[in-house]
Amino acid sequence: MQLNIRYYHFITYYKMGQLQERYKSYREPQKYMAQGVYPYFRAITSKQGTEVDMDGHHILMFGSNAYTGLTGDPRIIEAAKKALDKYGTGCAGSRFLNGTLDLHLQLEKELATFIGKDETLCFSTGFSVNQGVLAMVVGKGDYIICDDRDHASIVDGRRLSFARQLHYKHNDMADLERVLQTLPQEAVKLIVVDGVFSMEGDLCKLPEIIELKHKYNCSVMVDEAHGIGVFGRQGRGVCDYFGLTDEVDLIMGTFSKSMASIGGFIASDSDTINWLRHTCRTYIFSASNTPAATAAALEALHIIQQEPERIEKLWSVTRYALRRFKEEGFEIGDTESPIIPLYVHDVEKTFVVTALAYNAGVFINPVIPPACAPQDTLVRFALMATHTEEQVERGVQALKKIFKEQGIIK
């Protein structure tokens, strides 16, 4: 017995050693740390807003997804506090069993009306929506067709499905049709696409996708993570913006951006939601969203609908920023949203630009592979409804100086 125990410990140690051996050579982050340009995991010591405190510095925030600027709104904070007082800090279980609150049901009902679908299901994260839904709505003998630049959560979701996985060149409708032409007419074919592409800021070509849907007997799912609170009537998203909500079979959204909370949802017809409610593993085997987060998302939904001027302000400051970056000679691609890519086209310079911007009091996000192709690296400049033109101008001037010094713009 003693010999067997020693042998077990030896084998266990040996296996752990193999795993450690595999990853000990991964030192890419340390390389950039040594150069003083490592841009990740910086601690914020204040509320998310247009200006934040980080590392003892007061800095302009152009790296947030809080498009509506609601993360520090006192009404949302108060709603979260009331939910804490009434329900406590957590639900201690999944929605499937003991973790459903009347608050969850209210949010789902109001979201369904807002989005324009029969029903919705709320998840604990937006990532788990795509991960779970795509694994369950299509299976063996079916097909998932994705845009090359779809979000990582879509990529991971399709990998979990038993459906055959196909893709087409970014926003290339001829290439999408080429793919669809090869597939059986009678098979289930799900086209999955971001409404707003999160790094480049451009929109999917939804009208053309819907035309192909009917031509080739497909279904369509749109990820509205960066569309809700930004596009459409009262911020209903890109599907509403194009007037095609009824033509889209599944609409996904998140609470972590315009809705000032955490979590996500899927909206669809009642039969599809009934299927997902009882089979989607990331829904029925995950603890339900906290009362505070649910109440915060619900209050944000109310404010977005009650204050259309908030979205108008977002677009006003976005138009100003787009114009100023173009005037100063930045390459911003095909963006049509508050997400403004400033192309660098060099991984090393992307990190350098991000670090120099931070030192100059401007927080931006570097975008490098695998989030983009190596030749398409960029820094991402994103707007909130609460940004002022004066703040944008400060950001433009700081980045103009840096980009010129680095030889990126003339």
pLDDT, tens digit (0-9, with 9 covering 90-100), for 154-190: 999 999 999 999 999 999 999 999 999 999 999 999 9
Q: Is 342 helix (H, G, I), strand (E, B) or coil?
A: strand
**Which pLDDT score is estimated for 356?**
98
pLDDT class of 191 with cuts at 50, 70, 90: very high
Q: 29 pLDDT exceeds 70?
A: yes
Q: How far is CA 257 from the centre of its chain?
A: 8
Pair of tokens at residue 221: 């799912």
Q: How many CB atoms lie under 10 A from the CB of residue 26? A: 8
Q: How many CB atoms lie under 10 A from the CB of residue 275? A: 13
Note the pTM of the prediction, 2 decimals: 0.94
Ordered DSSP codes for 248-277: -SEEEEESSSTTSSS-EEEEE-HHHHHHHH
Q: Which residue has the tokens 């000032």?
A: 260
For 355-392, what is each residue's pLDDT tens digit?
999 999 999 999 999 888 889 999 999 999 999 999 99
- Find the mean pLDDT for residues 127-136: 98
Q: 73 pLDDT exceeds 60?
A: yes
Cα dihedral value 335, 336, 338, 340, nearest 10: 10
- Do 160 and 148 touch, CB atoms closer than 8 A? no
Of 42-46, 113-117, 251-255, 312-316, which gets the smallest average pLDDT? Answer: 42-46
**Which pLDDT score is estimated for 325?**
98
**Which pLDDT score is estimated for 373?**
84
Pair of tokens at residue 203: 């929109």
CA distances 188 to 174, 311, 370, Å, are 20, 37, 29
Summary mean pLDDT of the chain: 95
Q: 138 pLDDT exceeds 60?
A: yes
Q: 132 pLDDT exceeds 90?
A: yes
Q: 9 pLDDT exceeds 80?
A: no
For 210-243, what is each residue's pLDDT tens digit?
999 999 999 999 999 999 999 999 999 999 999 9
Pair of tokens at residue 95: 């929605």
- Find the mean pLDDT for residues 250-267: 98
Q: How many CB atoms lie under 10 A from the CB of residue 102? A: 8
Cis peptide before 370 (omega within 30 of 0): yes
**Which pLDDT score is estimated for 19?**
85
**Which pLDDT score is estimated for 372?**
87
Of 9-13, 148-152, 390-394, which gets the smallest average pLDDT? Answer: 9-13
Helices (H), 328-367: 347-359
Sign of the four-CA dihedral 290, 296, 302, 304 = negative
- Do 261 and 304 touch, CB atoms closer than 8 A? no
- Find the mean pLDDT for residues 34-51: 93
Q: How many residues does this entry show for the chain?
A: 410
pLDDT class of 124 with cuts at 50, 70, 90: very high
- Find the mean pLDDT for residues 328-334: 97
Q: 8 pLDDT exceeds 70?
A: no
- The helix (run of H) or strand (run of E) holding residue 223 is strand 219-223
**Which pLDDT score is estimated for 1?**
46
- Find the mean pLDDT for residues 137-160: 97
- Find the mean pLDDT for residues 28-52: 93
Rounded distance between C-alpha atoms, residue 104 and residue 72, angstroms:
22
**Which pLDDT score is estimated for 128?**
98
- Do 194 and 337 touch, CB atoms closer than 8 A? no
Q: Is 89 helix (H, G, I), strand (E, B) or coil?
A: coil
For 192-208, what is each residue's pLDDT tens digit?
999 999 999 999 999 99
CA distances 337 to 61, 128, 251, 319, Å, are 17, 25, 19, 9
Q: 271 pLDDT exceeds 90?
A: yes
* Contacts for 68 with CB less than 8 Å, ≥ 6 apart: 229, 235, 258, 259, 260, 300, 303, 304, 310, 311, 314, 384, 385
